[in-house]
C-alpha cells in the first residue's frame, strides 16, 4: 500500500491537472489545437508587459544557425537589411549600399552591381567582382556568424578564416579585420590588368579587364602577389579596406585616400520629434566618409551636427545617386505632419445629410456574428472599416450610431485580445521573439505569412486603429485592455529591450532606408520587399492615434515621426512622377507607381495582379482611405498623372468595384464633382471601405 500510494497520488494529480487544463482551454478561450505546443505564461510577469500565450512554431527557421549564442537569447530582427544572411544557406546577396555583399563557403564576395532596366522593372545584377577568403582554411564550408548588429550595420564573422567584416550601410569601403597573422586570398571576377602600390605598401590599386578599379588600404604594410585572377598576401593582422574607384577623376581617389583610415564598426539612430540622429562608432584616425541616398540628402540638416556634403563624390544605386557626406553624426529632419482623427480641411454643411444617410445604411451591415473570415488581415480590415464609421459619425455630429459601432468593435476585437476567437488568434513564439497566429503556426501561407513574420505592420495596424478608436469612445474599455493593446502595437513598434524585452526593435521599419519592409523571414534573391506603403503608413498613424487615446505623448511622437518618414519614402521611391530622376527614363515612361519595391529591384507587378492592372497598383498604395491619405497624396500634379494613367485599366463593367473606389478617391482631389458621381454609382466597395468613407473623403476636398 505504501508503495502504491504515491503512484495513485500522481495519477490523481495528473488527472486533476488534465481537468484544469481542459477547463482553462474551454473557458479562458485559448482553445488552440494541441499540436500548437502551447506553453503557459504569467501575464503578471515582473516586466509588467502582457505576453500572449506562448506557442512553438513548426514552420519558422532556426536562428541559432547563424546568430551568436548571446544574440539568440534575445528577440531577433525579422525584416532586417541582412536577413538573407541568416536564412537557409545564408548565401543570398544583400544590398549594403553601394555594394552587393554575398557570404558563402567562408568567403565574402563584393559586387558593384550593374543594372538591368526595362519598362517593367529595374534590378541590380550581382556578379562577384572580388571574393575574399583565407588561404588554407581548415573548414571552408563553415557557416558565418552574426556577432552583432545595429540600426545601420552588422558584424559578420568567418570563424574558420579569422576574418571579421564590419558591414556598414552607405560605406564606400568594405572593411574587415584580420586576426592571427592569417594569409588572405582575393579572387577577381575578371582578370587583373594591373596591380600597383604606393611607397608605404599600405595602398594597392587593382585594375581589372572590365575597366573597374579597386583600391585596397591596409592598416600596416603588406606585400601582395597576384596571378591572372588571384591576389594573395600572407601573415597579416590588422584592418583592410577595399573601395571601388567609381570615378577616374583624381579628386575622387584623393577623397578615398583621405578618409581611408577612419572606419565605422557600428551605427545607431535615435528619435527626436520628426527627426532622427545617426551616430557611428568610428575607429582609426581622420573623419568618417559615408554615402547618403536621395532622401537623406533632402532631410539632412547641418544645424546641430556639422557635416560636409561632397556633391561630386557619387556612386550609383537603385535608390538614386549616393553622395558622399563627411561626419560621424547626421541630423535628419522630416517634414512634420498633422496626425488627426478627422479630416484635415473639414466638411461642408451641405454634404452632411448625404453622409448621414450613407452611415445609416453602412451601420446596418455591422454584425459580428455574420463575419465569415478568420484571416487576421481581412478581419483587421473589417475592424478598421467599422472604426472609420464611428469617427465619421463623430465628425458630422451624428451620435445615434455610436453605440452600435462601439458594440461591434468590442465584439470583433475582444476575442483576439482574450483568446476566445477560436478559429484563429495571436500567440507569442520565442524562437525569434514575436507574435504569430494560430493558423500561421503550422502553415507558412496562412494569414499571408504572418506566422513567418510577413506583413505584421499591415495586419496589426488595422487592429491598433480599431483599438485606438474604441479607446477614444470608451476609455474604461481601453484601460481594461491596455496591456494587450500595447503588446500588439509593440510587436512592430518596440524601440528596444528597455521598452519591451519581448520584441525586437522596430520589426518592420528600416532606419537607413526610412521606410518599412514586409517580407519576414523568407529568403529572397532581391532582398526585402514591400508592396503597400499606405498600409505601412496606417500602422504608424494608428500607433500615434493610440498614443493620443491613451495620453501617451512619446507614442504620439514616435508614431507620427515614423508615419512622416514612411510618407516621404513613398513619395521618393514608390511615386514615379514624370520628372523622376531616380529611375531610368524607360521605366519612368511606363510607370506612375512602383508595384513591389525590393532592396535591389523595382517591380511593376503586384503579388496578386499583373503590371497591366494599373488601377489595382494605384489602389494598393491608397488603402485604407484615412485623413493621413491627404498628406501622402499632397502633390496634386502627381495625382493627376497617376489617376490618368490608372483610369486606362479600370474595368468598364460592374466587376471589381472595390478598386474603382480608390481611383475615384484620388480623382476627387482635383475633380471632386466628377468623382462624386462615379462613387455614387458604385455597386460595392472594398472590404475595408464604405460609401460613407468615400463620401466623407470627397466632401472634405476643398
Owner of C-alpha cell 474599455:
477
Q: Any residues with CB less than 8 A from the CB of 571 and at least 6 apart, and which?
A: 632, 635
Of the candidates 75, 115, 107, 80, the residue with the CA atom closest to the CA atom of residue 94: 80
As separate numbers, helices (DSSP H) first and strands (DSSP E) second, the chain gives 19, 29
Residues with catalytic function: 455, 531, 535
Count of C-beta atoms within a 10 Å radius of residue 304: 12
Peptide bond into 624 cis (omega under 30): yes
Of the candidates 259, 187, 274, 279, the residue with the CA atom closest to the CA atom of residue 227: 187
Cell digits of residue 498: 528597455
Cell digits of residue 262: 577612419
CA distance 280 to 646: 43
Question: Is 295:278 a contact under the CB 8 Å cutoff?
Answer: no
Cell digits of residue 60: 519558422
CA 532, 372, 474, 388 dihedral sign is positive
CA distance 425 to 418: 9
CA 554, 557, 561, 564 dihedral sign is positive
Instruction: Give the Å distances, CA to CA, from 100 to 108, 253, 550.
Output: 10, 21, 44
Strand 114-117, strand 121-125: pairing: antiparallel
Question: Is 290:325 a contact under the CB 8 Å cutoff?
Answer: yes
Owner of C-alpha cell 495519477:
11
Amino acid at each position: 500500500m505504501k508503495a502504491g500510494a504515491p503512484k495513485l497520488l500522481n495519477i490523481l494529480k495528473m488527472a486533476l491537472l488534465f481537468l484544469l487544463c481542459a477547463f482553462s482551454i474551454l473557458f479562458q478561450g485559448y482553445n488552440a489545437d494541441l499540436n500548437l505546443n502551447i506553453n503557459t505564461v504569467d501575464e503578471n510577469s515582473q516586466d509588467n508587459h502582457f505576453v500572449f500565450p506562448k506557442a512553438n512554431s513548426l514552420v519558422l527557421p532556426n536562428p541559432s544557425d547563424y546568430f551568436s549564442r548571446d544574440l539568440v537569447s534575445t528577440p531577433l530582427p525579422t525584416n532586417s537589411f541582412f536577413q538573407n544572411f541568416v536564412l537557409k544557406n545564408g548565401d543570398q546577396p544583400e544590398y549594403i549600399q553601394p555594394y552587393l555583399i554575398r557570404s558563402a563557403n567562408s568567403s565574402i564576395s563584393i559586387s558593384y552591381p550593374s543594372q538591368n532596366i526595362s519598362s517593367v522593372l529595374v534590378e541590380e545584377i550581382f556578379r562577384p567582382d572580388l571574393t575574399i577568403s583565407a588561404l588554407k582554411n581548415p573548414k571552408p564550408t563553415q557557416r558565418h556568424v552574426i556577432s552583432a548588429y545595429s540600426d545601420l550595420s552588422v558584424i559578420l564573422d568567418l570563424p574558420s578564416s579569422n576574418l571579421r567584416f564590419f558591414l556598414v550601410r552607405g560605406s564606400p569601403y568594405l572593411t574587415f579585420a584580420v586576426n592571427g597573422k592569417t594569409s588572405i586570398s582575393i579572387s577577381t571576377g575578371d582578370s587583373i590588368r594591373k596591380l600597383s602600390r604606393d611607397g608605404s605598401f599600405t595602398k594597392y590599386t587593382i585594375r581589372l579587364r572590365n575597366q573597374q578599379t579597386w583600391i585596397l588600404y591596409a592598416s600596416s604594410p603588406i606585400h601582395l602577389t597576384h596571378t591572372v585572377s588571384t591576389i594573395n598576401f600572407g601573415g597579416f593582422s590588422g584592418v583592410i579596406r577595399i573601395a571601388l574607384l567609381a570615378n577616374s577623376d583624381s579628386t575622387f581617389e584623393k577623397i578615398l585616400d583621405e578618409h581611408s583610415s577612419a572606419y565605422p564598426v557600428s551605427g545607431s539612430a535615435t528619435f527626436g520629434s520628426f527627426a532622427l540622429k545617426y551616430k557611428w562608432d568610428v575607429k582609426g584616425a581622420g573623419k568618417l566618409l559615408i554615402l547618403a541616398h536621395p532622401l537623406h540628402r533632402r532631410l539632412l540638416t547641418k544645424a546641430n551636427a556639422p557635416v560636409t556634403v561632397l556633391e561630386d563624390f557619387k556612386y550609383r544605386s537603385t535608390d538614386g545617386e549616393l553622395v558622399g557626406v563627411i561626419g560621424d553624426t547626421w541630423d535628419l529632419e522630416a517634414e512634420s505632419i498633422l496626425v488627426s482623427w478627422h479630416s484635415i480641411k473639414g466638411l461642408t454643411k451641405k454634404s452632411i445629410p448625404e453622409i448621414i444617410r450613407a452611415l445609416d445604411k453602412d451601420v446596418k451591415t455591422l454584425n459580428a456574428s455574420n463575419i465569415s473570415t478568420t484571416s487576421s488581415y481581412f478581419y483587421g480590415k473589417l475592424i478598421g472599416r467599422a472604426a472609420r464609421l464611428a469617427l465619421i459619425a463623430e465628425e458630422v455630429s451624428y451620435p445615434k450610431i455610436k453605440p452600435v459601432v462601439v458594440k461591434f468593435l468590442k465584439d470583433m476585437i475582444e476575442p483576439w485580445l482574450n483568446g476566445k476567437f477560436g478559429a484563429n488568434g495571436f500567440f507569442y513564439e520565442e524562437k525569434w521573439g514575436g507574435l504569430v497566429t494560430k493558423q500561421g503556426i503550422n502553415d507558412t501561407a496562412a494569414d499571408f505569412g504572418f506566422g513567418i513574420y510577413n506583413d505584421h505592420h499591415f495586419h496589426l495596424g488595422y487592429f491598433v486603429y480599431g483599438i485606438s478608436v474604441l479607446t477614444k469612445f470608451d476609455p474604461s474599455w481601453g484601460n481594461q485592455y491596455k496591456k494587450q493593446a500595447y503588446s500588439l502595437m509593440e510587436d512592430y513598434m518596440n524601440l528596444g529591450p528597455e521598452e519591451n524585452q519581448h520584441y525586437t526593435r522596430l520589426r518592420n521599419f528600416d532606419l537607413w532606408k526610412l521606410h518599412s519592409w514586409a517580407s519576414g523571414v523568407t529568403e529572397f534573391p532581391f532582398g526585402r520587399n514591400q508592396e503597400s506603403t499606405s498600409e505601412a503608413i496606417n500602422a504608424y498613424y494608428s500607433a500615434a492615434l493610440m498614443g493620443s487615446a491613451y495620453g501617451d505623448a512619446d507614442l504620439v511622437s514616435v508614431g507620427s515621426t515614423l508615419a512622416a518618414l514612411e510618407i516621404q519614402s513613398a513619395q521618393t521611391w514608390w511615386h514615379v512622377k514624370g520628372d523622376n530622376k531616380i529611375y531610368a527614363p524607360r521605366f519612368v515612361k511606363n510607370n506612375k507607381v512602383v508595384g513591389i519595391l525590393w532592396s535591389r529591384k523595382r517591380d511593376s507587378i503586384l503579388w496578386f495582379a499583373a503590371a497591366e492592372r494599373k488601377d489595382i497598383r494605384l489602389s494598393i498604395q491608397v488603402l485604407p482611405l484615412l485623413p493621413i491619405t491627404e498628406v501622402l497624396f499632397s502633390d496634386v500634379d502627381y495625382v493627376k498623372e497617376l489617376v490618368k494613367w490608372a483610369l486606362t485599366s479600370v474595368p468598364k463593367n460592374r466587376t471589381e468595384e472595390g478598386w474603382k473606389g480608390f481611383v475615384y478617391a484620388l480623382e476627387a482631389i482635383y475633380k471632386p464633382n466628377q468623382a462624386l458621381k462615379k462613387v455614387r454609382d458604385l455597386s460595392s466597395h472594398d472590404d475595408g471601405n464604405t460609401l460613407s468613407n468615400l463620401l466623407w473623403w470627397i466632401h472634405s476636398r476643398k
